[in-house]
Amino acid sequence: MRADRLVATLLFLQERGRVTVPEVAAELEVSERTARRDLEALAASGIPVYSQRGRGGGWSLVGGARTNLTGLTAEEIRALFLLTGPLSATPELRTTLRKLVRALPPPLREQAQAATRAGVVDTTDWSRNAVTADAAHRSALQAAVIDGIRVRLGYAGARKPAGERTVDPLGLVAKAGVDYLVAGTDKGLRTFRLSRVTSVEPTGEPVVRPPDFDLATEWRALSGAFQDGMSAVTARARVHPDALALLHRLLGGRVRVGGPLPDGWTEVWVEGPAAQALAGRLAGLGSRVEVLEPPEVRQWLARIGAELTGTYARD
């Protein structure tokens, strides 16, 4: 903590040119005694910092000396602040950005500050549901990954009650706005969706890391297996032109478009994890889509249609 404070004090000196002990204390939210000790420590370490007593006095860098703590180019600075600016609602990131801004040469500060205001992150979806519920445990898992500490993970799986298991955190992955933990378990590598994590408790034991582990490579293998499961069933269908765009919105990349049919409709192939699940997604399009094969998907559509008719026909 003190090392961070000394860096912040030096950057504050660099920005202001001359500062007083009360100003440093207020800026860093410490006591005046701590601020004075930090200034004296900077001077004792060989940094050209000196104090001047009397009216208009204070602490200064000798000869206006400056230190460049970044070494970043203008393009790198812009990219960094564009990335972190919308996320700077956390105290840690606000402190980091403030230190970086002070370390920049004056011509680059205005661009950096403008970049932090160039974007915003909306943490709710279109249904007004929060999409950052996993943030409460993200910091603990990041620390466990970096420090290499095994954790007891509270986790509620899909359609399963919450339970606890001991895992080896190996990395965090963000995919399409959703965060996942890749961890070693007694059954091999597994992924855990952070929004389903209920608790994180470090055990103090070191992580057992597989030899030659590479997070990107392992994630491709794990996500590929999951995507294969999402495409276990393929149906051939004909779709009315008015419904083709809606079908793409419903199923995205799991739709392959063929050529136009003689009746003006379009032939498509759609994929899903199971016949029942695929039929459920297509049922909302009504008669604007007709599944031609396989028969299992057609049978589920007929069953769904019969259930809906039985419920709503009297209306």
N residues, the chain = 315
- pLDDT, residue 135, reads 61
**Residues 163, 207: contact at Cβ < 8 Å?**
no
Single out the residue of 42, 32, 78 nearest to residue 62, CA to CA. 42
pLDDT of 177 strictly over 80 = no
**Residues 97, 84: contact at Cβ < 8 Å?**
yes
Query: Any bridge partners for residue 293, and if so which?
Result: 236
The first and second tokens of residue 47, run together, are 């940094």
**Residues 294, 269: contact at Cβ < 8 Å?**
no
pLDDT digits 0-9 by tens, 255-268: 999 989 999 999 99
Rama region for 64: left / alpha / beta (φ>0; ψ in -120 to 50; rest):
left
Query: Any bridge partners for residue 50, and if so which?
Result: 60
pLDDT digits 0-9 by tens, 225-280: 777 777 789 999 999 999 999 999 888 888 999 989 999 999 999 999 899 999 99
Spatial distance between the Cα atoms of 243 and 266, rounded to a whole number of angstroms: 10
- pLDDT, residue 231, reads 73
Average pLDDT for 37-42: 85
